């Protein structure tokens, strides 16, 4: 197979209307390409968009990804890009409902079933000509937990924080940050009342701990449309919205998608 390394383009010009280029674990790499056909990362299709002089692959980098050289598989061969290291801060939380930290045996069937439903939604790749990536914050409030924190729950290490937490009073409206289709809703063991929106090309957003849900699976939503209200359902310490953004099934920093001036 032909190995292809493209010269780096000026990302100030390349990234207009795209998420911020931040190639770290939990970040996004904007990789310039000469073709839009079948670009894959870890065996998954990646978002593609046309840019001046060619195309750009918008690649979500998993939090578990090691720094170093990585590549896309394309019709023209391997295209390399570099992932930089990043050290996220630690956060310790005390959860009063200990069952939400160490579930009972009878909870595991429910948790396994719900995880499969959530994973299926994150794995969606719906072809669209161009996915909307210029987001607004989905609710008003105070950022209480940033993305990527290494969490310690009741003294026990857990997976890094895969979203952005926005603390707000119960019932505060939650709006879709971009056009999309509702692909999942439910009352989940850990996430509480949850909505998942498919924005196309592997870009999925998730909204957790809601007090109410005002949309249904299969419904098309526009940017700014009401999804429900902030709540404190599931595993929480208080009322807030947990907002996750997933790109090619990698949970990435939601702040990289926010409009200028909306970054928390």
At residue 261, the pLDDT reads 47
Contact (Cβ atoms closer than 8 angstroms) between residue 230 and residue 208: no
DSSP E strands, 62-191: 68-74, 77-83, 90-93, 142-145, 150-153, 156-157, 164-167, 173-175, 180-188
Average pLDDT of the segment spanning 141-148: 86
Buried b (16+ CB within 10 A) or exposed e, 89-103: eebebeeeeeebbee
Question: Total domain count for the chain?
Answer: 2
pLDDT digits (tens, 9 = 90+) for 72-121: 999 889 999 999 998 776 655 565 566 656 667 888 899 899 999 999 99
Select from 50, 22, 42 the least CA-distant residue to 123. Answer: 42
- Within this chain, do residues 62 and 95 fall inside the same structural domain, yes or no? no
Nearest of 24, 36, 107 to residue 61 by alpha carbon: 24
Torsions phi, psi of 109, nearest 5?
-65, -45
CB atoms closer than 10 angstroms to residue 33: 21
Token pair in block for residue 128: 């669209």
Confidence band, pLDDT 50/70/90 cuts, at residue 3:
very low
Task: Extract the tokens encoding 222.
Answer: 């526009």
Examine residue 10 and state whether it is found in any structural domain, yes or no: yes
Domain membership flag for residue 262: no
Handedness of CA 186, 153, 258, 44 (dihedral sign): negative
Indicate the residue among 50, 83, 116 that finishes a domain.
83
Instruction: Please report whether residue 214 resides in a domain.
Output: yes
Check whether residue 158 and residue 57 sit in a common domain: no
Tokens (6 digits) for 23:
């190639």
Task: Say yes or no: 110 and 199 in one domain.
Answer: yes
pLDDT for the residue numbered 9: 39
In this structure, the answer to whether residues 79 and 145 fall within a common structural domain is: no
Residue scoring higher pLDDT (149 or 178): 178
What local confidence, expressed as pLDDT, does residue 76 receive? 82
Q: Tell whether 121 and 47 lie within a shared domain.
A: no
Residue given tokens 């669209």 in the structure block: 128
pLDDT class of 157 with cuts at 50, 70, 90: very low
Cα gap 114→129, rounded to integer Å: 31
**Residue 157 and residue 196 in one domain:** yes
User: Is residue 22 located within the same domain as residue 127?
Assistant: no
At 224 the pLDDT is 97
In a domain, 264, yes or no: no
Closest CA to 235 of 194, 205, 181: 194
Cα–Cα distance measured from residue 63 to residue 58, given in angstroms and rounded to the nearest whole number? 16
Q: Given this model, what pLDDT does residue 118 score?
A: 96
- CATH code of 174's domain: 2.70.70.10
For 110, the 3-state DSSP assignment is: helix
CA distances (Å), origin 5, targets 70, 73, 77, 186? 11, 11, 9, 44
Q: Tokens at residue 229, please? A: 């209200």
Do 30 and 58 have their domain in common? yes
Indicate the length of the chain as a whole number: 264
Say whether both 67 and 107 belong to one domain. no
Cα torsion at 222, 233, 148, 99 (round to 10°)?
A: -150
22-80 pLDDT, tens digit each: 999 999 999 999 877 789 999 999 999 987 778 899 999 999 899 999 999 998 899 99
pLDDT at 192 over 70: yes
60 and 97 housed in the same domain: no
Distance CA 140, CA 138 (A): 7
> What CATH number is attached to the domain comprising 15?
2.60.40.1590
The answer to whether residue 170 is domain-embedded is yes
pLDDT at residue 12 greater than cutoff 90:
no
pLDDT digits (tens, 9 = 90+) for 233-254: 997 888 999 999 999 999 999 9
Last residue of a domain, one of 83, 98, 133: 83
Q: What is the reported pLDDT for 10? A: 41
Helical (H) or strand (E) element with 259? none
Residue 263 domain-assigned?
Answer: no
Measured from the Cβ of residue 172, the count of other Cβ atoms closer than 10 Å reads: 18
Are 235 and 121 in a shared domain?
Answer: yes
In the chain, % of residues over pLDDT 70: 81
The CA distance from 49 to 15, in Å, is: 10
Q: Final residue of a domain: which of 62, 83, 104?
A: 83
Range of the domain at 66: 3-83
- The reply to whether 144 falls in a domain is yes
**Are 100 and 123 within one domain?**
yes
Would residue 20 count as lying in a domain? yes
């Amino acid at each position: 197979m032909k190995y292809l390394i493209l010269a780096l383009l000026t990302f100030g010009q390349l990234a207009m209307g795209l998420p911020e280029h931040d190639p770290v674990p939990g970040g996004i790499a904007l990789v310039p390409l000469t073709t839009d056909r079948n670009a894959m990362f870890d065996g998954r299709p990646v978002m593609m968009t046309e840019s001046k002089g060619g195309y750009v692959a918008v690649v979500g980098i998993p939090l578990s990804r090691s720094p170093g050289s990585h590549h896309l598989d394309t019709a023209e061969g391997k295209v390399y890009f570099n992932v930089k290291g990043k050290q996220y801060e630690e956060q310790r939380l005390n959860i009063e409902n200990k069952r939400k930290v160490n579930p009972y045996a009878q909870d595991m069937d429910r948790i396994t079933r719900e995880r499969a439903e959530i994973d299926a939604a994150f794995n969606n790749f719906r072809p669209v000509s161009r996915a909307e990536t210029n987001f607004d914050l989905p609710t008003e409030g105070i950022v209480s937990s940033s993305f990527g924190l290494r969490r310690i729950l009741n003294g026990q290490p857990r997976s890094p924080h895969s979203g952005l937490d926005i603390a707000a009073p119960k019932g505060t409206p939650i709006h879709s940050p971009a056009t999309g289709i509702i692909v999942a809703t439910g009352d989940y063991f850990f996430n509480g009342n949850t909505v998942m929106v498919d924005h196309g090309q592997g870009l999925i957003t998730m909204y957790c701990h809601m007090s109410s849900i005002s949309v249904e699976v299969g419904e098309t939503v526009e940017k700014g449309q009401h999804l429900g209200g902030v709540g404190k359902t599931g595993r929480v310490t208080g009322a807030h919205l947990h907002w996750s953004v997933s790109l090619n099934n990698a949970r990435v920093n939601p702040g990289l998608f926010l409009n200028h001036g909306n970054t928390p």
